[in-house]
A and B are shown apart, each in its own frame.
Chain A
Amino acid sequence: MEMEKKKALDDLRKRFSGKIKETFLKFGDEIVIIERDSLLDVVKFLMKEPYSFTMLLDLTCVDHIGQENRFQMVYHLFSLSNNHRLRIKLSLPEKDPVVDSLTSFFKNANWLEREVYDMFGIQFNRHPDLRRLFMYEGFEGYPLRKDYPLRKRQPRIRLRK
C-alpha cells in the first residue's frame, strides 16, 4: 500500500515536471502543490486508472493575508477503488484570484465553488452558475477573508434597535 501511495506522487512529478512545485507526505497524507494553470490537467490525469480519484471530497480556500500569493485553494480527492486520498494545493495572487472550475469533472464542485466564491471571492473560470451560495443578494464583501471587518453587519431588513 505504501508503494502505491508513493506511486501517484512520483507519477505526477514525472508527468508534469514543470508544473509540480512540491510533493510531500504530512501526517500520512499525500500533498501535491501545483501551478494553478495545470489544475485541470492534473485532475484529469488523476481521475484515470490506475489512480481513479473519482470523488471530490471537498474543495476549500485558505486566506494567507499579507503574503504575495494570498489565497490557497485546497482540493481533497478520494479514490473509491484504491481507498486512497490525495490533496492538491495551489496558490492564487490577491490581485487576480482566478482558477479553473472543476464542474466539468465533478458535479459537486458546483456548489463547493459557489461557497468559496461567496466566502473568499475567488473567481472560477467556466463555472456554469457562479452566484453566492450562503449570503444573500446585496451582501457586500467576502466574510471569510481575514480583512473583512469583524463587527461589520449587513442586515437585510431594518432592525428595531
Chain B
Amino acid sequence: MPGKRALSNGNAKSAKEFDMEGGFITTKFNHILGWARKFSLFHYPFVTACCGMEYMSAACAHFDIDRFGAGWTRFSPRQSDMLLVVGTITQKLAPVLRTVYNQMTEPKWVVAFGTCAVSGGIYDNYAVVQGIDRIIPVDIYIPGCPPRPETVLDGLVKLQEKIQNQEQEWRWKRKKP
C-alpha cells in the first residue's frame, strides 16, 4: 500500500500491481517531479498584518502544515518555492513585494492569504493595493478575515493538486517548438 499512497495519481494502479517482484514502478517524469515538488514546499512568509497570527497557528504544531510537506520556513526568497502573502499590502509596500517575488527562483507559487491579500478587503482606499494579483501572479486565493487554519490547509491541498497536475519545467527539458 505505501507505493499507492505516495504516488496516487489519476490512473492509480492497484496495490497488487505495485507489489511486483522486482520492486519497481513506472511513472512519467513530469508526474514524479510534480509529486516531489508538491511535498517539499519551502515557504517564504511575507507577513504584514493580523493574518500573521492565523499563519502562525496553521504553521505550528496545532494545525501543522508540515504534515503536507510545507514545514520549512525560509526567510530568504532565493531558497523558497511558495510565497505566502499574509496580510494587507499597501501601495508603499508594493515594490518590495514585487522584488521579493522576482528574487524567488523557479519553480515558484504564490498564495494570497486572507481577504486583504485577495482583494484589498475592507480597505478600499488610497493606501491599499486591491489584491496582490495586481502586482504578481497568484496561484491560490485563501479567503477569510482572517482565514481559519482549516481553510489554509484546504488551500494548501488545492495548491498541491495544482502543482501535481501542472506542466513541470526542468533544466534539460526539451522545449516544444
| Contacting pair A152 B95 (CB below 8 A) | no
Would you call B129 and A155 a contact (CB within 8 A)? yes
> Which residues of A sit under 8 angstroms from B135, Cβ to Cβ?
157, 159-160
Q: How far is the CA of A154 from the CA of B128 in the complex (A)?
A: 10
* Contacting pair B92 A136 (CB below 8 A): yes
Q: Which residues of B contact A134 (CB under 8 A)?
A: 92, 127
B133 and A156 within 8 A (CB) = no
List B132-146 residues whose CB lies under 8 Å from chain A. 133-137
- Chain B: interface secondary structure? loop
Given known contacts A159-B135, A160-B135, A154 and B92 CB-to-CB distance under 8 angstroms: no
User: Which partner residue on chain B sits nearest A153 by CB separation?
Assistant: B126
A105 in contact (CB, < 8 A): no
Contact (A154, B95) CB under 8 Å given A159-B134, A160-B133, A160-B135: no
CA distance A157 to B136 in the complex (A): 11
Contact yes or no, A157 B98, CB < 8 A: yes
A152 touches B126 (CB 8 A): yes
A143-B126, A143-B127, A148-B126 given; A154·B134 CB < 8 A:
no
Mask, A137-161, CB within 8 Å of B = 1, is: 0000001000010001111110111
With a CB–CB cut-off of 8 A, which chain B residues contact A136?
Answer: 91-92
Instruction: Check: A135 CB closer than 8 A to any chain B CB.
Output: yes
Instruction: Check B95–A135 contact: CB distance below 8 A.
Output: no
- CA A148 – CA B125 in complex, angstroms? 11
Across-interface contacts of B126 in A (CB, < 8 A): 143, 148, 152-154
Cα A154 to Cα B92 in complex, Å, equals 10
Residue from B94, B125, B137 in contact with A157 in the complex, judged by beta carbons closer than 8 Å: B94
Decide yes or no: A161 and B92 within 8 Å by CB, A152-B126, A154-B126 being known contacts: no
Known: A143-B126, A143-B127, A148-B126. A156 touches B94 (CB 8 A): yes
Give the interface size bracket for A toward B: 10 to 19
Number of interface residues of B (CB under 8 A): 14
Q: Is the interface of A mostly helix, strand, loop or mixed?
A: loop
- Knowing A143-B126, A148-B126 touch, does A155 contact B94 (C-beta < 8 A)? yes
B110 → chain A closest CB, angstroms: 12
Q: 1/0 contact trace for A105-136 toward B, CB 8 Å?
A: 00000000000000000000000000000111
Contact B127 A157 (CB under 8 A): no
Other than A135-B92, A152-B126, A160-B135, give 20 A-B pairs with Cβ distance below 8 A.
A134-B92, A134-B127, A135-B127, A136-B91, A153-B91, A154-B91, A154-B126, A155-B91, A155-B129, A156-B91, A156-B92, A156-B95, A157-B98, A157-B135, A159-B129, A159-B135, A160-B133, A160-B134, A160-B136, A161-B133
Interface set of A (CB-CB < 8 Å, partner B): 134-136, 143, 148, 152-157, 159-161
- Closest 4 A/B residue pairs (Cβ): A159-B134, A143-B126, A136-B92, A157-B95
19 interchain pairs, CB-CB under 8 A: A135-B92, A135-B127, A136-B91, A143-B127, A152-B126, A153-B91, A153-B126, A154-B91, A155-B91, A156-B92, A157-B94, A157-B98, A157-B135, A159-B129, A159-B134, A160-B133, A160-B135, A160-B136, A161-B133
